[in-house]
Amino acid sequence: MAETRLKMALVGCGGIAQVHWQGIKEIASRVDVTAVVDTNSDSATAMAQLTGAEAFFDLEEALKNGDFEAVDIMLPHDLHESAALACFSAGKHVLLEKPMAHSLESAERILQASQKVTTTFMIAEQAQYWTDVIKARELMDAGAIGEVISASGNFYDRVVIDPDAPPPWRYSLAISGGGVTMDGGAHWIRPLRMMMGEVDEVIGVAGRHVPRMESESWSRMLMKFENGTVGMLTCQNVMHASGPTDMFRITGSEGELQITGGRDGQLLLFNKEHPRGEVIMSAVEGKRNSYGEEINDFCKVVLDGSTMAATPEFSLGELRTALALYRSIESGRWEKVW
């Protein structure tokens, strides 16, 4: 019997599209990229040559004339709503890069529209598929570190600045909706939610040190989780040499879990049986494969009717957490996430 396959259009042909294409080739093997869409004709043409797909320079034209059932939307944040709604109206299955939108109001309109169609809607958040985070939660549930008390996360993103080039679209507050916390920091908020449970309220500080970046380029956030545990998240753009740090550290009454970063990243367990630390697994391959795994998950939902790892409603949590931080900076108080 012939294998059921999914025809997909890549909407947006920037850097993230290259990574998604690699994930399709290596992991999401039942996906056929049959169209690529970008208003930049050079980007669309280059992606078409790479994938063998048909190039379109306008989403409306692609939806009218392209041969595909699903879209993978990878556009600047402020374009998510118009693109998603157009694809819903055209009867397409929609995989939408995080954050859902550049504002909560826009995200809620997307959610409302998605609930009126029968096609699949999913938010692409690769951290949901980080195997070290999944394993860490399993160890926590098994009591490996006793009663869980607290967590910390550190997101450092290296920035290379060309003063003669136009600023990236992410530097525009109107386009992005926020800074480092809402953007790359979301990939750290999701694992903290996966390991510690839902975030209840946050308080923090932030500032700007990256030239021409309109929103925060660094933030420090304290988090209270609904189960009574606490956490701290550091998000930082760096323009200089920096030392190694934990990606995550989970502390319990009887031990700790540590996830290290870099090319040799590992999940480590420290407890009575392993006082010097036991290497549980590599943290590298699971992260590298996570882009393909998220697309594969979407593909299985569409083709097989399986249950997605995280619903769009759950995926709103990273945006809401970042927005709560921004409110707390203005108010100087703890702010509720939900």
Q: Give CA–CA dist 201/320, Å, rounded.
A: 10
Cα 295–Cα 299–Cα 303 angle in degrees, nearest 5: 180
C-alpha distances in angstroms, 293 versus 73, 130, 253? 16, 9, 34
Q: Give CA–CA dist 335/86, Å, rounded.
A: 34
Query: What burial class does residue 87 get, using C-beta atoms within 10 Å of its C-beta: 0-12 exposed, 13-18 middle, 19+ buried?
Result: buried
Query: What burial class does residue 173 get, using C-beta atoms within 10 Å of its C-beta: 0-12 exposed, 13-18 middle, 19+ buried?
Result: middle
Q: What tens digit of pLDDT does each residue of 26-56 get?
A: 999 999 999 999 999 999 999 999 999 999 9
User: pLDDT tens digits for the chain (338 residues)?
Assistant: 568 999 999 999 999 999 999 999 999 999 999 999 999 999 999 999 999 999 999 999 999 999 999 999 999 999 999 999 999 999 999 999 999 999 999 999 999 999 999 999 999 999 999 999 999 999 999 999 999 999 999 999 999 888 889 999 999 999 999 999 999 999 999 999 999 999 999 999 999 999 999 999 999 999 999 999 999 999 999 988 888 889 999 999 999 999 999 888 999 999 999 999 999 999 999 999 999 999 999 999 999 999 999 999 999 999 999 999 999 999 999 999 99
Q: What tens digit of pLDDT does each residue of 94-108 get?
A: 999 999 999 999 999
Sequence-distant (6+) residues with CB within 8 A of 337 are 198, 199, 200, 201, 202, 317, 320, 321, 324
DSSP state of 333: S
Cβ atoms of 252 and 149 within 8 Å: the answer is yes
Q: Give CA–CA dist 171/327, Å, rounded.
A: 20
pTM above 0.85, yes or no: yes
Nearest CA to 129 among 293, 244, 288?
293
